[in-house]
Structure 1
Amino acid sequence: MTTIHNAEGQLLRHSGPPVPQNSAFGRKRVGLAGGAGFVALALAGCSVIGTGSENDSDSGTSDGAGSGVVQVVTHDSFHVSEDLIADFEAESGYTVELSAPGDGGALVNQLILTTDSPLGDVAYGVDNSFASRAIDARVFEPYTSPALPASAEQYLAGDSDALTPIDIGDVCLNVDHGWFAEAGIPEPESFEDLLDPQYEDLLVVTNPATSSPGLAFLLATVGAFGEEGWLEYWEGLAGNGLKVVDGWSDAYSVDFSGSTGEGDRPIVLSYSTSPAFEVGEGESEAPTGALLDTCFRQIEYAGVISGAANPEGAQAFIDFLLSDEVQADIPEQMYVYPVSDQVELPESWTQFAPLADDPHEVAPAEIDAHRDEWIEAWTATVIG
């Protein structure tokens, strides 16, 4: 039997990795976990960051330097170190304003709905599960950044030059090592393992209709089992006691038995990077682990919004996101991998936050053609 729980006060719903409030990495990001500071300002709707004049609102450039406001529209977990934002403003002459209409899916929906009255100049956080929808709706203007590293070319959105890849991350199932050791049950390793009766009532995932990670996991099963088999697989999960919640914070921080959770489910949908941030200071082992055979790779993009008041500032901000300084900042701020392979990753990532060698894939055109159909079929089958 499948159960469903409606989330209240959901912390994260975006396409980047989550932040348990009391984990090693959650303590680093009090602004996000506690609802204060930089990200909380963005969540409030709009934050003005930097020292630019409030009256200097005209876009354009002067003597090679930018001026005016760059309005950045993001998902609700965008985070770049404040000193880097300040450096960008000082060097470019622009003042950065942030607004966050919701998670990655909500971001795309709002951008499409407001094409006649753009929300801002540049958007960050559109992922590969929604990229084709935004491209087809002509949400973005073509732009190829001169700062795009060669290692990022593999992540380009097909033949379109409307979106620039900024970071990547693997959505995967995570397990609580301690729970399985105490229970004397072997940890699952594959999708198929989860159908075994010994894993009944142990798995909690997020709803693909309300959660970007949930949609990524649905796509992982499409990639693994194909058009003919993915829905049958979900029927099997539902029959083995699958639990579905609306958002990541409830799944990871409430229902999951590991991390800060006090739940009774030792298998949870999260990210391959999550275990790295469960390792306490001085510890050599992670209490949780990612099942790398269950991953779907998300790619997050930025783009110049069509009809932007300040397209030059938008382009400058995309170049900024690809700079070595920001690419090196991304792992410990948004807990995803930079697209540049020239930056040094946190030491713990090599051991505890590997990317999957062979993540499951679904072609962007297939996602665009069947996304809504798949979500509807999943809902009818799993939720009823």
Structure 2
Amino acid sequence: MKRRDYLRTVGVGVTGVAAAGCLQVEDTGDGDATTSTTEAGTATQSETTTNTTSADTGPLRVATYDSFFGDDGTAGQWLKDAWEADHDTAVEFSAPSNGVNEFIERKRGGASIDADLFVGINTGELVRVDEALDGTALFDELAGEIDGSDAIKDDLRIDPRNRALPYDTGYISLVYDSTTVDNPETFEALASDEYEGTLLAQNAQSSDPGRAFLLWTIHEYGPENYLDYWERLVENDVRVLDDWRPSYDAFLNGERPMVVSYSTDQVYYNDEDQLPRHQVGFLNDQGYANPEAVARFADADNPDLAAEFVEFMLTDAAQRNIAVNNVQFPATTTAELPEEYAQYAYEPPEPVTFTYEELAGNVDAWTEAWARQVATN
């Protein structure tokens, strides 16, 4: 089930999740580590700015995560329809079950890549690619040949080698039920007795928001002290589920009044009776920026066509529609968003994130140390 359809369903009623006791790291088998929690109206295909016809025959093969494409109302389906309306080339999406790791293994084994672009890579995954392949190029440089890449927000750029270009970003925050709890406002308050047994989080090894929240705590407390902070959260009965979907289910069921989620939550939940139960909380006035990027495979069969498609993704019309359908924020400075965003989507006063250089050589060790500590409690 796609994320937007899922939210329509759970707005009516959700299936129960086991009641929380002590710390639990629960594997639901969901495997969906993609991001989007809300919904807004979608701009029409006629807003696209591309009016050229590609001479390439393709098809253009795009690997991504499964909720990015496939149904009406997804960013990938909008991109496919809009692109194919103005080009002779078809777009074929695929969703490898192991994400970018599948292409790491193919490259190691000398197997064919069978894709031109990868859509949905984040900073930590790019670090993993480079460390795993140790100089062997999985992706090649894009930025120098992409019109519109200069409009990408500087603080969202994830790749010092200009292979992966951001196309949207979300901000990790708390979402809380203000009829039950107050906004903790700080990391220290979140670990205090007042918030014992209130927080739902996600597994940093299997979930994008879970990993981003972990990195946020490392950014706040440093590599030397973040495990001490997590020990306090464990003692405060934090509940860790496998991914965003089961944790959000538990939140909607009222099992806990607070969940690690996204600051665009109210774009979907903004009715008068829903707003109090979907408040956005930025700890220490911060939110963790988690950009998603597109990269071209070094072995792409259609490298020029792939570059043209990336240019298309960075047009104002595409940026608007990607943001709306993923319920994230655009990566560029020029895209305009629907009115709902001005009222209900929040950017933190101080966005924080780790750069590629800061994560290189560290992110896997940090995550593994976190997993050992959480799993033993």
Give the TM-score normalised by the residue count of structure 1. 0.80
- Within a 5 Å distance, the mapping from 1:178-189 to structure 2 comes to 178-180=179-181, 186-189=182-185
SS at structure 1 position matched to 2:223: helix
Contact 1:224–1:360 (8 Å) recurs in 2: no
- For residue 135 of structure 1, report the CA deviation from its aligned partner: 4.5
Greater Cα offset, 78-87 or 64-73: 78-87
- For residue 132 of structure 1, report the CA deviation from its aligned partner: 2.5
Instruction: Give deviations 1:276-295, integer Å, cap 9, x for gaps.
Output: 21113x77945312222252
Give 1:168's aligned residue. Answer: 169
For residues 18 and 64 of structure 1, do their structure 2 counterparts lie closer, same or farther at Cα, with a shift above 3 Å needed? closer
Q: Which amino acid letter does the alignment assign opposite residue 170 of structure 1?
A: Y
SS at structure 1 position matched to 2:168: strand
SS at structure 2 position matched to 1:168: strand
Contact 1:217–1:295 (8 Å) recurs in 2: no
SS at structure 2 position matched to 1:296: strand
Query: Which runs of 5 or more structure 1 residues have no equivalent in the other structure?
Result: 20-24, 30-62, 181-185
| Alignment of 1:101 onto 2:96 | yes
SS at structure 1 position matched to 2:200: strand
| Alignment of 1:214 onto 2:210 | yes
Q: Which runs of 4+ in 1 moved over 4 A?
A: 282-286
The whole-number CA distance in structure 2 between the counterparts of 1:84 and 1:151 is 19
Instruction: Give deviations 1:53-97, integer Å, cap 9, x for gaps.
Output: xxxxxxxxxx96221200000122213264542231232321100
- For residue 155 of structure 1, report the CA deviation from its aligned partner: 2.5
Q: Which has the higher contact order (CA 8 A, sep 6+)?
A: 2
Q: Which amino acid letter does the alignment assign opposite residue 142 of structure 1?
A: E
The whole-number CA distance in structure 2 between the counterparts of 1:284 and 1:5 is 28
- Within a 5 Å distance, the mapping from 1:18-33 to structure 2 comes to 18=37, 25=39
The whole-number CA distance in structure 2 between the counterparts of 1:148 and 1:306 is 19
Let me know the Cα RMSD of the aligned residues.
2.4
Give the TM-score normalised by the residue count of structure 2. 0.81
- Within a 5 Å distance, the mapping from 1:91-240 to structure 2 comes to 91-102=86-97, 106-115=98-107, 116=110, 117-135=112-130, 137=133, 138-144=137-143, 145-180=146-181, 186-240=182-236
Query: Which runs of 5 or more structure 2 residues have no equivalent in the other structure?
Result: 1-21, 43-52, 69-73
Give 1:274's aligned residue. Answer: 265
Give 1:89's aligned residue. Answer: 84
Q: Which amino acid letter does the alignment assign opposite residue 272 of structure 1?
A: S
The whole-number CA distance in structure 2 between the counterparts of 1:320 and 1:360 is 28
For residues 214 and 226 of structure 1, do their structure 2 counterparts lie closer, same or farther at Cα, with a shift above 3 Å needed? same
The whole-number CA distance in structure 1 between the counterparts of 2:94 and 2:80 is 15
The whole-number CA distance in structure 1 between the counterparts of 2:31 and 2:371 is 23
The whole-number CA distance in structure 1 between the counterparts of 2:188 and 2:248 is 22
- For residue 158 of structure 1, report the CA deviation from its aligned partner: 4.0
Instruction: Give deviations 1:220-265, integer Å, cap 9, x for gaps.
Output: 0000001121110000000011111101110001x11xxxx21321
The whole-number CA distance in structure 2 between the counterparts of 1:152 and 1:65 is 31
How many pairs does the alignment contain?
330
SS at structure 2 position matched to 1:237: helix
For residues 383 and 163 of structure 1, do their structure 2 counterparts lie closer, same or farther at Cα, with a shift above 3 Å needed? same
- For residue 322 of structure 1, report the CA deviation from its aligned partner: 0.8
The whole-number CA distance in structure 1 between the counterparts of 2:257 and 2:92 is 40
Give 1:262's aligned residue. Answer: 253
Give 2:10's aligned residue. Answer: none
Q: Which amino acid letter does the alignment assign opposite residue 223 of structure 2?
A: E
Q: Which amino acid letter does the alignment assign opposite residue 319 of structure 1?
A: E
The whole-number CA distance in structure 2 between the counterparts of 1:130 and 1:380 is 20
Q: 1:3 aligns with which of 12, 24, 42?
A: 24
- For residue 189 of structure 1, report the CA deviation from its aligned partner: 1.2
Give 1:32's aligned residue. Answer: none
Give 2:14's aligned residue. Answer: none
- For residue 157 of structure 1, report the CA deviation from its aligned partner: 2.7
The whole-number CA distance in structure 2 between the counterparts of 1:119 and 1:271 is 33
- For residue 348 of structure 1, report the CA deviation from its aligned partner: 2.0
Greater Cα offset, 322-331 or 346-355: 346-355
Contact 2:63–2:93 (8 Å) recurs in 1: yes
For residues 154 and 204 of structure 1, do their structure 2 counterparts lie closer, same or farther at Cα, with a shift above 3 Å needed? closer
